């Protein structure tokens, strides 16, 4: 087992030679140069990530990390914490939105109990790596200990290592945890320095009173814990979540193995902020799927310096937006690989 700190220091830079070869091929394909816009840029990024001038991504997986949150006791969510284990069982039965979209995309779904406040029996597709039965209430002190944060990040690393051993070309980050937009907003507020109210949305749909409680809880958590904005691990410990930590481990390990990471919505964005804080070299391995309706999501993209592929007003989580984006990622690869060049097609290039 490789620890996450070792992998964080072993992430290679993107392969410039493969990127140059991909750009050169794009410029000879039967289309005006640049006419497929960001699809072309994505194919070049994928070439650099995978170190393959003509990348292919047939083996896909979404890793859904599940955990509960002590801050829910403050009335920050429209749903009770009991929904977290209920939804995990729904994932395992194949009945959730992520299951439907993963089947369409030809991706496998791996569900990880990294911190659910309930116990599960063994089940196909479930990995039981519970760090604790939910985080502590961060309005009263740190959400987790340093040892717990370290363990949760390592869970993500171990899961990715096993997925790679089974065959993995493309991975998506997914989450399940009632109340987890609250720690996610706390993370972006802590790292960006922006006012809590400017980065905190309604999550699963809290009313005005619920939103006010949510903002107050985050402000209290930041005041009580005083997370260091220059220390992503400290921020994670003080106001994070076990599933967020697990997804940070997923990102770090995937990048270390040159596997592209498609990040989903607001919770995955929080995990990406933590991962890049711990391992800055992971940043170019990220592909942002979509901009969610959470108002803090844009602040996350600003901090990460990336742009999402689409905006469908999604706010479900589970990895749904990321798995939808699998189709775009695969399209970028196929265009680069399968389209004919001018020479192959016998089509005259401009100026001939």
Per-residue three-class SS string for the chain:
CCCHHHHHCCCCCCCHHHHHHHHHHHCCECCCCCCCCHHHHHHHHHHHHHCCCCCCCCCEEEEEEEECCHHHHHCCCCCCCCHHHHHHHHHHHCCCHHHHHHHHHCEEEEEEEEECCCCCCCCCCEEECCCCCCCCCCCCCCCCCHHHHHHHHHHHHHHHHHHHHHCCCEEEEEEECCCCHHHHHHHHHHHHCCCHHHHCCCCCCCCHHHHHHHHHHHHHHHHHHCCCCCCHHHHHHHHCCHHHHHHHHHHHHHHHCCCCEEECCHHHHHHHHHHHHHCHHHHHHEEECECCCCCCHHHHHHHHCCCCCECCCCCCCCCHHHHHHHHHHHHHHHHHHHCCEHHHHCCCCCCC
Which is the catalytic residue, given 219, 318, 338, 352? 318
- Is 318 considered catalytic here? yes
What residue segments make up the domains of the chain, in order of their start?
A: 4-55+336-345, 60-329
At residue 99, the pLDDT reads 98
Q: What is the pLDDT of residue 350?
A: 65
Contact at 8 Å (CB) between 209 and 299?
Answer: no
pLDDT at residue 204, rounded to an integer: 80
Q: What is the structure's pLDDT at 112?
A: 98
Dihedral angle, C-alpha 71, 222, 181, 241, nearest 10 °: -70
CATH 3.40.190.10 fits 60-329, yes or no: no
The pLDDT score that the predictor gives to residue 352 is 47
Could you tell me the mean pLDDT of each successive run of 10 residues in the chain, 352 residues long? Answer: 93 98 96 95 98 98 98 93 95 97 98 97 95 98 98 98 97 97 98 97 90 96 98 98 98 98 98 98 98 95 96 96 98 97 85 48
Which architecture, in CATH terms, is 4-55+336-345? Orthogonal Bundle (1.10)
């Amino acid at each position: 087992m490789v620890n996450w700190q070792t992998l964080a220091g072993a992430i290679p830079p993107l392969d410039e030679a493969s990127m140059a070869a991909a750009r050169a091929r794009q410029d000879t394909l039967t289309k005006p140069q640049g006419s497929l816009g960001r699809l072309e840029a994505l194919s070049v990024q994928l070439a650099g990530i995978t170190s393959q001038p003509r990348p292919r991504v047939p083996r896909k997986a979404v890793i859904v990390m599940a955990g509960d949150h002590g801050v829910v006791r403050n009335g920050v969510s429209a749903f009770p914490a009991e929904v977290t284990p209920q939804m995990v069982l729904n994932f395992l039965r194949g009945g959730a939105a992520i299951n439907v979209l993963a089947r369409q995309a030809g991706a496998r779904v791996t569900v990880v109990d990294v911190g659910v406040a309930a116990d599960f029996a063994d089940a196909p597709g479930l990995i039981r790596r519970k760090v604790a039965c939910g985080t502590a209430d961060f309005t009263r002190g740190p959400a987790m200990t340093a040892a717990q944060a370290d363990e949760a990040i390592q869970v993500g690393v171990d899961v990715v290592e096993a997925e790679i051993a089974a065959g993995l070309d493309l991975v998506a980050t997914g989450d399940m945890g009632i109340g987890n937009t609250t720690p996610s907003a706390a993370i972006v507020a802590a790292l960006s320095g922006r006012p809590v109210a400017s980065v905190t949305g309604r999550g699963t749909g809290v009313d005005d009173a619920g939103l006010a409680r949510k903002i107050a809880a985050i402000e209290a958590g930041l005041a009580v814990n005083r997370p260091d904005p220059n220390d992503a691990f400290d921020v994670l410990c003080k106001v994070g979540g076990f599933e967020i930590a697990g997804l940070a481990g997923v990102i770090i390990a995937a990048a270390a193995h040159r596997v592209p990471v498609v990040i989903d919505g607001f919770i995955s964005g929080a995990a990406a902020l933590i991962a890049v804080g711990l391992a800055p070299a992971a940043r170019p391995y990220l592909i942002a799927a979509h901009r969610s309706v959470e108002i803090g999501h844009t602040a996350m993209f600003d901090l990460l310096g990336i742009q999402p592929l689409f905006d469908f007003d999604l706010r479900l989580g589970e990895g749904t937006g990321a798995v939808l984006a699998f189709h775009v990622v695969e399209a970028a690869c196929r265009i680069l690989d399968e389209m004919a060049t001018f020479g192959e097609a016998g089509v005259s290039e401009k100026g001939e």
